[in-house]
Copies of this chain bind each other. A is one copy, B any other.
């Protein structure tokens, strides 16, 4: 993930336990200190490794935090709950639960802030976090089309645009609700949100009247 497990055959291999300890220590430090007060020296001490070991594996604070936060999104799943509405509500509640964790809030937002001036970091976030979420939208949409809950889209380009739109609307609304408005994305809110979104998607017309 963060560095080539160099397939170089000879020599002492890198400790996988150290990787796990460092990422866990990073999340713990994010909770206690937040992004700006987090130092790599402190993370190394918490993880029980030398500071130099940390620098050998990650280029800097940005990359380390992205990897540490990305693991939080591994648990995202899309179980079949029978209807598109239930599927959406389920995954949105999962997403909201992750954003409830302090290490996800400060880590993700700070990384995104830095990525506005670092293309490599932006790509890293996209590959390890954003795309993983987006896949759920793709899967849920396909499942809904099989059920006949959503119209099938013949044009692949148009379909991709629609998926992008849905993804930004869902994830954006949850993030904004949680971080900007500072209110919980609880079941009542998720129900209201899902209703508005689905009504908008179900009654899609090819063009505005």
Contact = CB atoms under 8 A, between A and B. Distances in A.
A76 B32 CA distance: 37
Contacts of A106: 113-114, 116-117
B130 A102 contact: no
Interface on chain A toward B: helix, strand, loop, or mixed SS? helix
Contact of A192 (B108, B165, B203): B165
A115 B103 CA distance: 13
B116 A179 contact: yes
B181 A177 contact: no
Contacts of A171: 172, 176, 180
Contacts of A203: 199, 203
Nearest to A192: B165
The size bracket of the interface on A is 35 or more
A127 to B, nearest CB: 12
Interface string A171-188: 111111101111100000
Given A102-B116, A109-B116, A168 B177 contact: yes
Interface of A: 34-36, 61, 85, 102, 105-110, 112-118, 122, 125-126, 130, 161-162, 164-165, 167-169, 171-177, 179-183, 189, 191-193, 195-201, 203-205, 208
Rank and list the top 10 A-B pairs by shortest CB-CB distance, nearest first: A172-B176, A200-B200, A172-B172, A109-B113, A196-B200, A110-B113, A34-B117, A105-B116, A199-B200, A172-B173
Given A165-B193, A191-B208, A199-B199, 13 more contacts: A34-B113, A34-B116, A102-B116, A106-B117, A108-B113, A113-B113, A130-B181, A165-B189, A168-B177, A169-B176, A195-B205, A197-B200, A200-B200
